[in-house]
Amino acid sequence: MNDLNLLDLQGNNFSGMLPKFSKATQLYILKVSENRLEGKLPRSLVECTLLEVLDVGNNMMNDTFPFWLQKLPYLTVLILRENRFYGQIKHFKHKFVFPNLDVLDIASNQFSGELSINFLQTTRLRSLKIGGNKLEGKLSRSLANCKALEVLDLGNNMVHDTFPFWLEKLPSLKVLILRANRFYGTIAEFNTERGFPKLRILDIGSNNFSGNLSIEFLLSLKAMMQLRNDDKAKLDYIGEDYYQDSVTIFNKGIEMFYQKVLTILTCLDLSNNSFHGRIPEEIQMLRSLKVLNLSYNSFSGEIPVALGNLKDLESLDLSQNELSGKIPPHLTSLTFLAALNLSYNQLEGSIPQSNQFITFSNDSYHGNPKLCGLPLSRKCNEVGLPMPPPPRGDESWLYAMTTWKIALMGYANGLVVGLCIGYTGLNELGNKWVDRLKKHGERNKRRSR
């Protein structure tokens, strides 16, 4: 072990506890992720004074945050993700203890309390992933000092704050994930001259944001406005040679994990909030978008014709809103579109029948009783029978029980879980729906006579 420089045991089936490393004084890279290791991190790692990369992700290790690793002066990458680390992350000595840390990934553990990053040398930090824990309180304003930060993922926590428009100050920020927290309020306070110069992935889904989708907000997403020449674009990934960032986003209707993140991937996810009003025509300015998800809001009015100008779009989800009017034929010009969901709106008229639109199934249009034409069985010379309104609030769970296909759409927004949990106590609501449907049927019979 005295001469060991690099130890890479990733992706095996090793179990038990990590051995002692007191003799591995020359070790500078240790990767043991994706095994079945358990127990605590061996304190003997402090003897590895040359250690630069420590990756114990995707195991079953059970420990508190290892502040004692501060004794490693060259530690650059620390990955603890998907283990059973727990407790608060708070350093009481008010000093930088990881002076060279570039990457900190503690996602999917059981850390709790408010997160302070005052123990980190903020000018060095490039990637911070703290999602999937039980962190709460407000977002640490000291993040504004992380001038080198490219990736910030704090999704699936309990952070309670307004939109962090002050992160505009970060010149290198490329990925910002705020999904499934308790963020709230409108998103309107922006300096569009500065904006987010490099932000290409923004996911604020499943929060409590509200109000209109402001034009100033859209114009602040400057990197999403820039088209790249595919002939010249290289297959560059976010990260360095020693560590490449991963990200989980909702794409084409399902949750997708990207082991590596191409710098050309551009995603805007505002789903499952309380935005309302019209979708601004200015959304066409985000010309490099590949994924756009505005589902589960209260957007109204017609689908903007301008969406047809997003030529790189591969996934478009406008489902579960209050959109009306016809589907713009201009959308057929989106020849890269692989996934479309317009279900549960108030759309009407014939479905366009060219290019990508001939490939989409019924699931793309469910819950729009006035739509007609293929792939629906309803012909455009038939008058569609009235249907119950799109599911909202508590009624949506019962509606899901009567419309099974909604549970097959593959959206990880709590719908299927709610279907199992929310049934108890809805008998009274169910009876009201049954009575409503009976009356509806009787009216149709009288009309047919």
Name the nearest CA neighbour of 7 among 17, 19, 16, 353.
19
pLDDT at 426 over 50: no
Q: How far apart are the first and last CA of the chain?
A: 90
pLDDT at 379 over 90: no
- pLDDT of 66-86, one tens digit each? 999 988 999 999 999 999 999
Tell me which fold the domain 6-398 belongs to. Answer: 3.80.10
pLDDT at 23: 82
Q: How far apart are CA 63 and CA 61, in angstroms?
A: 6
More confident residue, 388 or 98: 98
What are the extents of the domains in the chain?
6-398, 399-441
Tokens found for residue 166: 């002050």
Name the nearest CA neighbour of 151 among 48, 42, 265, 235.
265
Provide the CA 138 distance to its chain's centre, in angstroms.
Answer: 19
Q: What percent of the chain has pLDDT over 70?
A: 79
pLDDT at 380: 86
pLDDT at 421: 29
pLDDT at 45: 93
Tokens found for residue 419: 């279907």
Q: Which pTM was predicted?
A: 0.81
List helix spans (H) across 90-145.
none
Residue 15: which residues within 8 A CB-CB, separation 6 or more?
35, 36, 37, 38
pLDDT at 329: 94
- Using an 8 Å Cβ cutoff, are 67 and 91 in contact? yes
* Single-letter residue type at 56: V
More confident residue, 298 or 413: 298
Neighbours of 123 (CB within 10 A): 12
Strand, coil or helix: what is 372? Answer: strand
Of 199-203, 334-338, 340-344, 410-414, which range is least confident?
Answer: 410-414
Strands 175-177 and 151-153: parallel
Band the pLDDT of 234: cuts 50, 70, 90: low
Of 154-168, 251-265, 342-356, which range is least confident?
Answer: 251-265
